[in-house]
A and B are shown apart, each in its own frame.
Chain A
Amino acid sequence: MAILSIVNQNSCEEEFSLREVPLKINGKLVNLQLRPWVSLLDALREYAGLTGTKKGCDHGQCGACTVLCDGERILSCLTLAVMKEDAEITTIEGVGTENELHPLQKAFIAHDAFQCGYCTPGQICSAIGMLNEGKAQNREDVKELMSGNLCRCGANSNIIDAIMEVKNETI
């Protein structure tokens, strides 16, 4: 730790130590006590108790940890919670209610768009982000723009069917 010899030791320990990180998650302000190296994904699952967001690879290769950050889909495993202090985070727990599912949640059920379900929260958050972006014109575009979410059960074609249904309804 070269920095310890250069910077005042007390201030350094202070920065290493727990800090209060205010996060706006699903419309609610939550103050978490975190160290700087806690990923947003771990903050959600281990500190905020929101286990809907899944840890697949933890390296940005599978998309299972996709959440919405100010309405844009991002990978919560590749960002630090402290970097998102001012952002509005939406997880799968925040997209619908028990009584009124999000249209994509309904469509995923109707189209049997999952088997094990592990990738589903990320798929749905990613699809919400993709529809917000408004760049997909057709099925080929949707497939390309959803390629960051892997499904190892092989439900991909049903996933695209479900997304296409919602996309066509919202046009």
Chain B
Amino acid sequence: MNNFTYSKASTVQDAVNRVQQGPEAKFVAGGTNLIDLMKYHVITTDALIDVNHVEGYHAIEARGEGGIRLGAFMTNAKTAYHPIIEQQYPLLSRAILAGASAQIRNMATNGGNLLQRTRCYYFYDVNTPCNKREPGSGCSAIGGYNRIMAILGASESCIAVFPSDMCVALAALEAKVNISGPHGDRSLAFTDFHRLPGNTPDIDNNLSHGEIITSIDLPSKGFSDNYSYLKLRDRNSYAFALVSVATALELEDGIVRESRIALGGVAHKPWRSAEGEAFLQGKEATKENFTRVAEIILTGAAGYQYNSFKIELAKRAIVRNCMMALNPETQLPGAQPSR
């Protein structure tokens, strides 16, 4: 780790002011990804601004118009185990608990979860070219070992995937991200928060330097009757997804009134398909229809030397997870496939 100054912010405004001291200044909350990246010299900073002591953003509060607000500095564990999340937004609870380990979930915060970086091996290895780490240096993953990389929305510059589980559920639930910054407050729809790599893969999301996530809003609809999160990975627990799926269904007499299907581990952001979800509307909730949706969602998917298997894996995971959403009680700890 390089040398840096450390200070504690007392308010959001104070944090925003402090981080503008320099272009390399960074906020730290849980620190579980940032401090690791600093150890690898992937990220250097000259000033860390600790926001953990800023009061007012560590809880869940009800909103007048229905729905709830998740404090950005609340931990992932406290969020996942909160009675409101367990009962009204079980998809979110399941997704959070499928990510990382219990220790890391006790540290990692909701805002930080959105801001974690890819786990692409080449991004972490400062001795290899990587356009995300060093723009213009090239992508080592495209011609390299790319088992975990993207099959949707990738570019010639970058085929890294966004690793979060929590964000896959937030995308399905159509959350909103609330942001404060030097020019005031603003909100972004969840699908507009993260971005595809294009030719600027060094930019993960649409947050500007100096801006901070203060909270995440969830609409009132939690899909608590028919939901499921499935995570497929190289070991059963404590590993990032090869493919994950968040499914939320609203059913009426076996007919799909509304569906949300979001994929993780396949793209530079949580992946949703308006065409796929539109197809399901008004259709019977059957394996045949879920199979057709899977085909629609994976339209345009492209694999590389070692990750082409993910295309078929994603299709099967969608079908499997939609079936599990019909009987959410069949889900297993860690979002493993049901037996």
Evaluate contact between A59 and B22: CB separation under 8 angstroms. no
Asked if B312 lies at the interface with its beta carbon under 8 angstroms from chain A, I say no
CB < 8 Å neighbour of A16 from B1, B5, B238: B5
CA distance A58 to B39 in the complex (A): 9
Evaluate contact between A3 and B35: CB separation under 8 angstroms. no
Q: Contact string, B29-56, partner A, CB cutoff 8 A, digits 1/0? A: 0011001101110000011101010000
Asked if B21 lies at the interface with its beta carbon under 8 angstroms from chain A, I say yes
CB < 8 Å neighbour of A148 from B1, B21, B46, B238: B238
Which listed segment binds A: B98-106, B161-169, B200-208, B253-261?
Answer: B98-106
Q: Count how many chain A residues have C-beta atoms less than 8 Å from C-beta atoms of the other chain.
A: 42
Evaluate contact between A135 and B81: CB separation under 8 angstroms. yes
Evaluate contact between A74 and B103: CB separation under 8 angstroms. yes
A137 to chain B, nearest CB (A): 9
CA distance A145 to B105 in the complex (A): 11
Q: What residues of B have a CB within 8 angstroms of the CB of A160 in the complex?
A: none
Evaluate contact between B46 and A59: CB separation under 8 angstroms. no
Q: Contact string, A125-166, partner B, CB cutoff 8 A, digits 1/0? A: 010011001010000110111111100000000000000000
Report the nearest A residue to B25, measured CB to CB.
Answer: A3
Evaluate contact between B35 and A79: CB separation under 8 angstroms. yes
Given the known interface contacts A37-B3, A83-B31, A140-B332, the answer about A3 and B46 at a Cβ–Cβ threshold of 8 Å is yes
Q: Contact string, B300-319, partner A, CB cutoff 8 A, digits 1/0? A: 00000000000000000000
Evaluate contact between B22 and A75: CB separation under 8 angstroms. no
Asked if A6 lies at the interface with its beta carbon under 8 angstroms from chain B, I say yes
Q: Contact string, A70-107, partner B, CB cutoff 8 A, digits 1/0? A: 00111100111011000000000000000000000000
Q: What residues of A have a CB within 8 angstroms of the CB of B236 in the complex?
A: 147
Mark A residues whose CB is within 8 Å of B. 1-4, 6-7, 12, 15-16, 35-37, 39, 58-60, 63, 66, 69, 72-75, 78-80, 82-83, 126, 129-130, 133, 135, 140-141, 143-149
What are 12 A-to-B residue pairs whose CB atoms are below 8 Å? A16-B3, A39-B35, A59-B39, A60-B104, A63-B101, A66-B103, A73-B102, A80-B31, A141-B333, A148-B100, A148-B238, A149-B101
13 new A-B contacts at CB < 8 Å, known A37-B2, A78-B104: A2-B46, A3-B46, A4-B46, A7-B21, A16-B3, A69-B106, A78-B107, A79-B31, A82-B50, A129-B102, A135-B81, A140-B332, A147-B101
